[in-house]
Amino acid sequence: MTAHTSHHRRLSRPSAGRLRGLLRGLGVAIGLLAAPVSAAEPPSGGAHRVVSLAPSVTETIFALGAEDRLVAVSSYCDFPPAAAGLPRAGSYLQPNVEAILGFEPDLVLGVPTPGNRAAVEQLRRLGLAVVMVSEDTVADAWSAMRTVGKWVGRSERAEELIARVQAEIEAVRRAAESRPRKRVLFVVGHDPLVAAGDALFLDELIDAAGGENVGAIGRGSWPRLSLETVVAAGPEVIIDGAMGTESSAAGEQSLLAWWEPYRSVPAVREGRVRAQRSNALLRPGPRLGVAARELFALVQGEPAPTPGPTPGAVAAPEARPPS
């Protein structure tokens, strides 16, 4: 996919005087708008000045070929590489309302989080169209792609994108059917020990990759597990992302050393503690198929098959190879 970087350079922010005038009117606007503005339907042809508050949303917009409509993204939006050069509108958890207003968007797209609720409601009270999409499950991801596609005028391409990603996941599932299923623990934190639980897209992708998610014995999407629970569950593969996405020999050794005291766990004893350094596994968007293949490799210890092209499907956004 060709990044329209020249377009982004031409996007201009409003003058300082204009921005000050807008900000001075905030108190009046809040008083006048008694209820949030409905964002039930997009304008004809979709929105043209979009602020994305979530990496999965940004990746979807790029995958749909609508990146020329992005005027700003969150500080965590770094994929595809062209997204890293876009103006910032605050973080995924704490959007910057003043910065967002300065970009004069006709649409703000994001994912609901406890940290962004106040900012989202303030933007709505000020009259901005704000659309929030869920990304907890794979079904949520399909719905989010459709919603984003509708709001950027790319509904047909969204359906093609969904078909392509579904085919990628199904290819992984078919490949896993001939392998023995393994008990898998997917860890994202050590202190406390936090794992991927049930009712979560990772639980579904682990299943597709031929694994049984040990974290599903906890409560909720990201349960805290005791080490006693982990030892009793006996995971055969531990996928550990607690060290983040940085790759280093020292980090790898530190990870293995953390698990070494628990050699009664099959994954530790048999050398199947595997570092997880790919953000594709934590962003349920157009790279869900990539995430499924990466999980297959981590669970099965061998590369996943690459699916053939889906007729009429949207190509994946530019991707880096898994680390």
Beta strands in 140-294 (DSSP E): 182-189, 194-195, 211-213, 237-240, 273-275
Q: What is the pLDDT of residue 237?
A: 98
Span 35-72, pLDDT tens digits? 333 456 888 899 999 999 999 999 999 999 999 999 99
Residues 226-239: tens digit of each pLDDT: 999 999 999 999 99
The enclosing H or E element of 290 equals helix 288-300
Domain boundaries, the chain: 5-153, 180-300
Residue indicated by tokens 């959007």: 95
43: left (phi over 0), alpha (psi -120 to 50) or beta: beta
Res 296 pLDDT > 60: yes
Of 238, 319, 219, 235, the closest CA to residue 279 belongs to 319
CB-CB contact of 57 with 111 (8 Å): yes
DSSP 99-116: HHHHT--SEEEE---TTT
pLDDT band at 249 (very low <50, low <70, confident <90, very high): low
Answer yes or no: pTM beyond 0.75.
yes
E strands, 144-236, in order: 182-189, 194-195, 211-213
- Residue keyed to tokens 């530019």: 318
pLDDT digits (tens, 9 = 90+) for 158-184: 999 999 999 999 999 999 999 999 999
Superfamily of domain 5-153 in the CATH hierarchy: Nitrogenase molybdenum iron protein domain (3.40.50.1980)
Counting residues of the chain whose pLDDT is more than 70, the rounded percentage is 80
The two tokens of residue 143 are 């719905």
1: nearest Cα among 56, 58, 68, 63: 63
195-219: average pLDDT:
94
Q: Looking at domain 180-300, which CATH architecture does it have?
A: 3-Layer(aba) Sandwich (3.40)
Task: Work out the average pLDDT over 98-125.
Answer: 94
CB contact at 8 A, 23 and 83: no
pLDDT at 313: 52
180-300: same fold as 5-153?
yes
pLDDT, mean over the chain: 84
